[in-house]
Structure 1
Amino acid sequence: MDGANDAHKPYKRAKPRTENDGLFTYLCMQLCEHQIGISVNLLSLLFLTHVFFPRARQHTRPFFHLSYYNPDTEKYGCGTDDLSYVALWLVIFVGLRVAIMDYVLAPLARRGGITTKKGLVRFQEQAWLVCYCVCSWSLGVYITWHSEYFFNLHGMWEGWPFREITGMSKFYYLVQWAFWIAQILVVNIEEKRKDYAEMFTHHIFTIALLFLSYGFYHTRVGIVILCTMDLVDIVLPTAKLLKYLGYAKTCDIFFGLFVVVWLVTRQIFFPIVIYSVYKHAPIDIQSGCYFNDGTMVPASDSAKYDALGGNIAWLNLVKAYTDREGPVCWNPTIRYSFLGLLLSLQAIIFLWFCMIIKVVINVVRGNSADDVRSDDEGDDEEVDEKIDGVKTGYDAQNVSAAPLEEEVGVEALNFAARKSNINSAANVRRSKTQRTTRASGISIPGHGDHKELLGRIGCDKPS
C-alpha cells in the first residue's frame, strides 16, 4: 500500500496473536482492533430489534429512553431499567472514542506536525479526554447553576431522599456512569502502562460510588463531586496537547493554571463537600425510614425502624434497584461509610498534590532534568519510525520546527532553560531515543515510580 492510501487508514492498536497468547488475550486484541465495528453492529442490532419487533419494545425501550418518567412532576425516578441506558452509552463511548480519535483528532495531530505513532496516539488520547470533559463539565455546571444546591451545601441534603430528579440530571449521571465503565475497557484493551493497577482500582471505586450514590438517591452530592473533579481533567490534558504541538509559553501558562485549578477544586471545594457530609447531612436528614408518600418512621421508634431494615446498610444503599417504591432508611453507618470512602479519596488526592508541590518547588529553584523517553509501552520504538508513508525522523535543519511528541505527565511539565538549535540538533544526532526540549522550554524528568500516575491525576479522564 502506498503512502497516499495509508494516510487514510486508522492506526491499528491491536497486536498480532502469538503462540503464548491465551483466548482472553486474543479476544481483547480483537475488541481493540474492531471497536467501531463492534459498537456499530451492537447498536444496529438493538435499533433494528426495537423497530421491527414490537413485542420486544418493552425490553428495548429503556435502552433508548430515560425510564420512570412521572408526568405529574415532570421528573424521573431511579431504578434497574436505568442500567440499560448506561449499557447503551457504554457501547456508544467505545465506538465514539475510537472514531473521533482516528478520523478527527489524528488528522488534526498530523496538521499540527505530529507524525510519529507514539506522538499521534498520545495526542489522540489526551484530546479525546479534553473533548469529553469539556462537554461533561459544562453540562454539570449548567445543572448545578440552575439547582437549589449551587454553592448551597444544605441544598445537597434538604428534602432527601431524592427519588425523582430532572431529566437533564439523570442523563448527566447515567452518561458519566457509562463513561467510567468505558474507561475500564480502555485501560485493558490499550497498551498497559506502569500505573495500570492504580488506574484500574481508581475506576472501580469511581463506578462503585456512582452505583451506590444512585441507588441511595444521593445524586445531588454526586453531581457536585463529578463537576468539581472534571475541571482538572480539562486543564492538564490541554497542557499536554500544547506541549506535543510545541507551544511552549502557552503550555507554561496552562501548567500554572492547572496547579491553581487543582488547589481550588480538589484541595478546597472537595474537602468542603466532605465536611458537608460530616456536618450538614445529619442536621438536614433525620435518622429514620422514609416512605414514597413523604411519611417517615424515625429511628427513635426502634421497633418499626428495625423492622423496616433501618440498621441494615447494604439493603438501603441499593434500594433504588431492589424496591424503588419501598422505604429507604438513613442511619449513621451509611453516612460514615460514604465519609470513609471520600476521605480515602481525599488522602490520595492530597498525596498527589504534595508531589505537584515538589514539582513546582523544583521549577521555582530552576532545576532541570534530562530529556528521556518516559512512557512504558513502546520504549524500543525508534523516533524515525514511519507512519502514513512519511519518514518522521528529525534532522538538524528541521529540528527547530518539529513539535515535541513525548508522553507528558505532571512531572514532565518542568520549566527548564531553552537550548540552542545547535545543541538540540547535536542531541538528536547522538541518540534516536532522545528528543529535543528546545521547542517547548520544558524538560522531562526521568522515569520515576510516580511519573505515570502523576500524568493521569484524578482520572484518566477518567478517572
Structure 2
Amino acid sequence: MLEWINSLVDRLQPNYLRPEDLERLPENAYVPTLSDLVIPSLVAASCLVVVRHVLDRVVVAPIGAYFGFNTKITDGLTENPILEKEYSKCKTPNSDTILILKKKCELTEREISKWFRKRRRNDKVTDIKKLQDASWHFMFYLIMSWYGLFILWDKPWFKKSINCWVDWPAQSVSNDIYWYYLIELGFYLSAVYMLFTDHKRKDFTEFIIHHVVTIFLLVLSFSYNLLRAGTLVLCIHDQVDYLLAMAKIAIYCKKPLIADTLFVLFILVWIITRLGIYPYVILYSVYIDLPVYARELGPYVEMYDTCTLMKFVKGALLVLQILHLIWTGLIVKSAAAKFTAGKIQDARSDNEESEMEVDDKIEENGNCKTLDTDGLCQ
C-alpha cells in the first residue's frame, strides 16, 4: 500500500534529470525524490502536534498556573440551541432580536444578554492559551534558527549565493539538508491542522493563506531540487520569528521593559534579514545569478530558468519581498504607537479588555435591557 502511494506521488514530480546529469553526480549521491518528503512530512507533522500538546500540558500550563495565568474565562454556560443558532449569526444582538428570542426561549432579556456575554467570553483566548502558542513558536523557531545556521555554515552557497546554481539541477542533497526541509514542512503542516482544531483566531484566513503558500513552495522547490535556495530562505526567515514570540511572552507575563527591549531587537533583526539579506542574497541570486549561470550552461538549464514554473517561483519570492515591505510598515506603525501610547499589544488581543469591562458594567447594571452592535448599554 505504501509503495503504491509513493509511486503515485513520484509521478507528480517532473523528470528534470537527464542520463548525463545523473552521470555527473558522485557515487551514492542523493537527489530529491518527492515520495521521500510527502509521507515522512505527514509523520513529522503528527509528531510535532503530539510534542506541542505534551509541552503545553506538562511544561507551559504548570508554569503559567504558577505565575497566575487564568485557564478559564467563564463557567456555567447553559446550552441553548436557539440562542446558539442566533449567536452564529450575530454575537451582539440588538433589542428587537432579543425580544424575539425572549418569546422563543421563555427567558428574560437580562438572562439572554447574560447568555450572550458568557458565550462571547468562551470564544476568547485565555491567557494560558496565548502563553502556550507563543511558547511553542518561540521554542520551534529558536531551535530551527540555530539548526539552520549550524548546518549551512560550511555550505558553499551560504557564503556565496551563486553556488545555489552550480551543477543545478544535478545537485546532491546531504542528510542534514533533507531533515531541515522535512522538519520545516512538517511544522507548517501541523500548523494548518492546529488552526482548525485550536481556538478560532481573528487572523485565521491570513494564516491559512500563508501556511498553504509556504507548504506549496516547499514541496515545489523540493520537486525541482531547489533546496539550496530554499534553505537560505528558511534560515533568513527563522532568525526573527522567535524574537517576536519571546516579546509576546514578556507581554503576557507583564514584563514591559523586557518586552520593549525584545521588540526593539526584533525590529533591528527584521530590517537586517527581511530588507537587507533577503533581497541582497535571495532575489539577487534568482534574478541575476541564475539567468547568467543558465545561459553559460546552455539551452537545457536555460529552459528551466525561463519555464513557467520557475517564473512562478521568482514571482512568489518577489511578492514575499513586497509583503516584507508592507509588514515593515505595520511594525513601524506599531513601534510609533508604542512611543505615543506607551503600550505594545498582541494584535490577537485587541479589544478583549475593553469588551470585558463593558460586560462587567452590564452585569452590575440591573436595569440594562439590551446590547447594540457595539456591545454598549442602551
The TM-score normalised by the length of structure 1 is 0.56
Pick one of 178, 193, 201 that aligns with 2:201.
Answer: 193
CA distance in 2, matches of 1:143, 1:162: 21
Pick one of 99, 123, 126 that aligns with 2:54.
Answer: 99
Residue 286 of structure 1 and its aligned partner are, at CA, apart by 3.5
Q: 1:136 to 1:369 in 2, by over 3 A?
A: closer
What stretches of structure 2 of length at least 5 have no aligned partner?
Answer: 8-24, 73-125, 364-378
CA distance in 1, matches of 2:171, 2:215: 20
Residue 336 of structure 1 and its aligned partner are, at CA, apart by 2.6
Contact 1:76 / 1:170 at 8 angstroms: preserved in 2? no
Contact 2:334 / 2:344 at 8 angstroms: preserved in 1? no
Q: Does 1:345 find its partner at 2:320?
A: yes
Match of 1:375 in 2: 349
Q: Percent identity?
A: 25
Residue 216 of structure 1 and its aligned partner are, at CA, apart by 0.7
Q: Does 1:361 find its partner at 2:315?
A: no
Pick one of 58, 83, 86 that aligns with 2:41.
Answer: 86
Q: 1:277 to 1:113 in 2, by over 3 A?
A: same
Contact 1:156 / 1:221 at 8 angstroms: preserved in 2? yes
Q: 1:76 to 1:108 in 2, by over 3 A?
A: farther
Deviation string 1:296-353 (CA, Å, 9 cap, x unpaired) is xx32xxxxx6xx9x86xxxxxxxxxxxxxxxxx4435444321111111211221111
Q: Does 1:223 find its partner at 2:177?
A: no
Residue 362 of structure 1 and its aligned partner are, at CA, apart by 3.3
SS in 1 for 2:320: helix
What stretches of structure 1 of length at least 5 have no aligned partner?
Answer: 1-55, 63-70, 289-297, 300-304, 312-328, 384-426, 433-463
Match of 2:287 in 1: 278
CA distance in 1, matches of 2:343, 2:139: 31
CA distance in 1, matches of 2:131, 2:344: 22
Q: 1:189 to 1:264 in 2, by over 3 A?
A: same
Residue 363 of structure 1 and its aligned partner are, at CA, apart by 3.2
CA RMSD of aligned residues (A): 3.6
CA distance in 1, matches of 2:344, 2:147: 41
Deviation string 1:240-279 (CA, Å, 9 cap, x unpaired) is 1011112221111101001101111111111121122101
AA at the equivalent of 1:93 = L
For 1:6-155, list aligned pairs within 5 A. 73=27, 75-82=29-36, 83-117=38-72, 118-155=126-163
Contact 2:171 / 2:225 at 8 angstroms: preserved in 1? yes
AA at the equivalent of 1:282 = P
AA at the equivalent of 1:151 = K
What number of residue pairs does the alignment pair up?
292
AA at the equivalent of 1:142 = F
Deviation >4 Å, runs of 4+: 56-62, 71-75, 368-374, 376-383, 429-432
Q: 1:377 to 1:96 in 2, by over 3 A?
A: farther
Q: 1:210 to 1:196 in 2, by over 3 A?
A: same
AA at the equivalent of 1:355 = L
Residue 77 of structure 1 and its aligned partner are, at CA, apart by 2.6
The TM-score normalised by the length of structure 2 is 0.68
Deviation string 1:67-119 (CA, Å, 9 cap, x unpaired) is xxxx9646433113312211211211121111111111111222233234401
Q: 1:59 to 1:331 in 2, by over 3 A?
A: same
CA distance in 2, matches of 1:128, 1:119: 14
Contact 1:143 / 1:168 at 8 angstroms: preserved in 2? yes
The structure in which a higher percent of residues are helix is: 2
Match of 2:164 in 1: 156
CA distance in 2, matches of 1:187, 1:173: 21
Q: Which has the higher contact order (CA 8 A, sep 6+)?
A: 2
CA distance in 1, matches of 2:234, 2:346: 35
Contact 1:193 / 1:376 at 8 angstroms: preserved in 2? no
Q: 1:162 to 1:182 in 2, by over 3 A?
A: farther
Q: 1:198 to 1:373 in 2, by over 3 A?
A: closer
SS in 1 for 2:159: coil
Q: 1:381 to 1:59 in 2, by over 3 A?
A: farther
Contact 1:231 / 1:261 at 8 angstroms: preserved in 2? yes
Q: Does 1:237 find its partner at 2:245?
A: yes
